Structure 1
């Protein structure tokens, strides 16, 4: 419970603890990002402006903190889940109510562990490509004034470069590159998770085969099936992100057109 609360509360404080400072809330972060992005696009340079670099650095630290806390939470939940399922397997002499309580608790902890795993994955992805993970904040809600004009320019330049092979501004090249890196990161992360899940499934089934206890065989078989099934969406995610990372520009245009 403490780690779950820390996952929600602590990252903003930890990210703001460096000399770069932080932001009071999400609204102030979005405001700072949009103002910095307007200046960055107007500069035409590949290098981030100091204001934009400050926002990107903060977002990197934020995701690192989130990923670290989620990873610790995942370890704790895995350890707790193992203890609960072992207790369930040893609960042959206990009443049906106690066994049901242990099974229910083990199932809840397993689901929470899976949620923590997803949080680790997405926050590692955000830490690898913090600029790309900030981009949705540019288009969320209603963008007015100069930002709306710039977003229209971004879409037009992207469309021109895709249809007629027009020259891509340096700032747009950086954005496309980081967008591609964002998806490459998920390819690697999802592939690793899929391999681990498949390995867990194989180990579960092999251990199940060598066990003579009916309840143990049932639990191990369930984990084997669950791990195999969970590996499938990970494979789909890895393949989908591979396609995007191979040619990020069309997907990047779709994102600005509301397709992400």
Structure 2
């Protein structure tokens, strides 16, 4: 078994789980690496932004931190995906069929993680929105969220809400593009798997071809759903604020 590659995968998983917050906070407010403090500062900064129409220093620092956080996570997930690809190749060459398919499955999870974090880095403000609704809001935030819902339902969007709708559209457009690129790669992997299976009748190639085919279909559905939302983001944003994310 390729022990060095397995060790590298373990290290990268640990780094992905532990490093993004502290690394993203370097040169900034280290308190932002604490999820509770991050949420508190986001909420206070968001309420001020909603009422003044300007992103103050507090909200700007939070959004900038979140961009770096997703950038670090995307980079680590991409390295993990590469390590898993190398590991799968070594296992396949050594004849470990089921281990190869298992690594390919984990690789799909790594790919999904890369996609999600690229999306978060492209539109970090929209990526932060779930933090506004995860727990009970204070009076000021509850009032702001209520005004957002009413404006979205009426179609009369103020300047801040127009900016939010635009960013939400960019958030979903980013996923549509990233998922389209991933789908192309998965279709290619599916064709390769099925061709190798036809040539060798080796079950491992059939399994890899089937896995890539199913994954490509799932990712194509992601492309369609996100492209539709990017084309008309306001109803989806209303659904989010009404609890239908």
TM over 0.5: yes
Residue 156 in 1 paired to residue 135 in 2?
A: no
1:16-55 correspondence runs (5 A): 16-19=25-28, 21-45=30-54, 48-55=55-62
Runs of at least 5 residues in structure 2 that lack an aligned partner in the other structure = 1-9
Tell me the alpha carbon deviations over residues 78-133 of structure 1, each in whole angstroms, 9 at most, x when there is no partner: 10011112111xxxxxxxxxxxxx33432332222111111111001100000000
CA separation in 2, counterparts of 1:157 and 1:210?
60
Aligned to 1:4: 13
Residue 222 in 1 paired to residue 204 in 2?
A: no
Aligned to 2:172: 183
Give the paired residue count.
236
TM-score (norm 1): 0.87
TM-score (norm 2): 0.92
Most deviating of 5-14 and 19-28: 19-28
Residue 146 in 1 paired to residue 140 in 2?
A: yes
| Partners of 1:21 and 1:58 within 8 A in 2 | no
Alignment RMSD (CA, Å): 1.4
Aligned to 1:202: 191
Runs of at least 5 residues in structure 1 that lack an aligned partner in the other structure = 89-101
Tell me the alpha carbon deviations over residues 181-239 of structure 1, each in whole angstroms, 9 at most, x when there is no partner: 1100110111111111111111222233334xx4xx32222211211111111011110
Most deviating of 16-25 and 197-206: 16-25
Instruction: Pick the structure with greater CA Rg.
Output: 1
